[in-house]
Chains A and B, each alone.
Chain A
Amino acid sequence: MAAAKFEVPAFREYPVPPVVKEGTMAHVKSFPASAPIQEAIGFPGELVEDWHDKAIAKMGDLLGKYRSLKVFMDACVHCGACTDKCHYFIGTNDPKNMPVARQELMRKVYRRHFTFAGKYFPSLVGAADLTRELLDEWYTYYYQCSECRRCSVFCPYGIDTAEVTMAGREILDSVGYGQKYTNEIMGKLHRIGNNLGLPGPALEDTLLGLEEDILDDTGAPVKLPLDKQGAEVLLITPSADFFSEPHVESLIGYAKVFHAAGVNWTLSSTASEAGNFGMFIGSYANMRRAALRIRQAALELGVKRIVVGECGHAWRVAYSFWNTLTGVGAGGADPFSIELQKQLDPRYPAPQHICEFTYDLIQQGKLKFDKSANDHRVVTFHDSCNVARGSRMSDMPGGQFVIPREIIKAVANNFHDMAADTIGEATFCCGGGGGILTDDLMEVRVKGALPRMEAFNNVVQEHKVNFMALICAICKAQFTKVVPYYGFDMSMIGGVHQLVSTAIVLEVPEEADQEVAAGAEAAED
Chain B
Amino acid sequence: MSFLTVLYACLFYAATAILVGGLAYKIRDYSRTPAPLKIPTTPAPTTTGGVVFRMAREVALFESLFKSNKWIWVFGYMFHAALALVLMRHLRYFTEPVWSWVAWIQPFGTYAGFAMLAGLGGLWARRFLVDRVRYISTPSDHLMLLLLIMIGSSGLGMRFVSHTDIVGVKNFFLGLMTFSWQPLPTDPALLVHLALVALLMVIFPISKLLHVPGIFFSPTRNQKDDPRERRHLAPWAAELEK
Contact = CB atoms under 8 A, between A and B. Distances in A.
B227 interface: yes
Interface string A60-85: 00011111101110111111111111
B215 A331 contact: no
B58 to A, nearest CB: 7
B141 A397 contact: no
A70 B140 CA distance: 20
B208 A68 contact: no
Contacts of B76: 79, 156
Interface string B48-72: 0010000000100010110111001
Interface in B100-123: 123
A285 to B, nearest CB: 8
A193 interface: no
Interface string A264-284: 000000000000000000001
A152 B67 CA distance: 11
Interface in A115-170: 115-117, 121, 123-126, 149, 152-160, 163
A390 interface: yes
Nearest to B140: A125
A154 B67 contact: yes
B219 A67 contact: yes
Contacts of B33: 63-67, 70
Contacts of B237: 284, 288, 324
Given A65-B236, A66-B36, A79-B76, A391 B132 contact: no
Interface string B21-39: 0000010011001111111
B133 interface: yes
Residue from A17, A74, A84, A330 having most chain B Cβ neighbours under 10 A: A74
Given A156-B211, A331-B230, 8 more contacts: A63-B33, A68-B39, A71-B218, A74-B210, A83-B132, A126-B139, A153-B41, A324-B231
Given A77-B211, A124-B143, A321-B38, A331 B229 contact: yes
Interface residues of A, number: 82
B214 A71 contact: yes
B47 to A, nearest CB: 10
B69 A81 contact: yes
B218 A75 contact: yes
A124 B207 CA distance: 11
A121 B144 CA distance: 14
A351 interface: yes
Give the 10 A-B residue pairs with the shortest CB-CB distance, closest first. Answer: A75-B214, A126-B138, A154-B68, A158-B220, A83-B132, A397-B43, A80-B133, A158-B221, A81-B68, A332-B231
A457 interface: no
B44 A397 contact: yes
Interface in B160-205: 203
Interface string B223-242: 00101111111101110110
Contacts of A63: 33
B184 to A, nearest CB: 29
A156 B123 CA distance: 15
A334 B137 contact: no
A381 B139 CA distance: 45
Given A79-B65, A159-B218, A67 B132 contact: no
Contacts of B123: 79
Contacts of A83: 132-133, 136
Interface in A294-328: 319-324, 327
